[in-house]
Amino acid sequence: KAGVTQTPRYLIKTRGQQVTLSCSPISGHRSVSWYQQTPGQGLQFLFEYFSETQRNKGNFPGRFSGRQFSNSRSEMNVSTLELGDSALYLCASSFGLEQETQYFGPGTRLLVL
C-alpha cells in the first residue's frame, strides 16, 4: 500500500507570495491533518479535515488555510508569506477515529526569503 505523499518536497518563495502544498493520503484514509515543524516551536497542529470538512483547527493566523477534496486529497495554502513561515510542513492521514494512528508523509520543506 502506498504511503502518504506530499508535493512538492522543496519550495523556495519570497515574502509576500503565496504557496499551495498538496497531500495525498493512504488509500482508504478519510482524515488528513497538517502540522508545521520548526526548530523553535517543534511540531504544531495546523488543521484537520475529515470527509471534506474541517474538523479541528490549531492556533495559526487566517493566512493558513486548507481544503480537502472528495478523493481525500488535501491542500494547504499560505498567503502573504512571512520569513517565519519557513518550516517543514507535514501531512498525516488516518481513518479518522480518535484512536487511529496517523501516518506521516515526508513533508514539504518551505524556505521563505
- Give the footprint of another protein on this chain (CB under 8 A): 4, 31, 33, 35, 42-43, 45, 48-50, 55-56, 58, 90, 92, 94, 96-99, 101-107, 109
Tell me whether residue 79 or residue 104 sits nearer to another protein (CB atom). Answer: 104
Q: How far apart are CA 64 and CA 18, in angstroms?
A: 10
Q: What angle do CA 12, 15, 17 make, to 5 degrees?
A: 75
Smallest gap, in angstroms, from Cβ of residue 31 to another protein? 5
If one counts every other C-beta atom within 10 angstroms of the C-beta of residue 37, the result is 14
Tell me whether residue 14 or residue 56 sits nearer to another protein (CB atom). Answer: 56
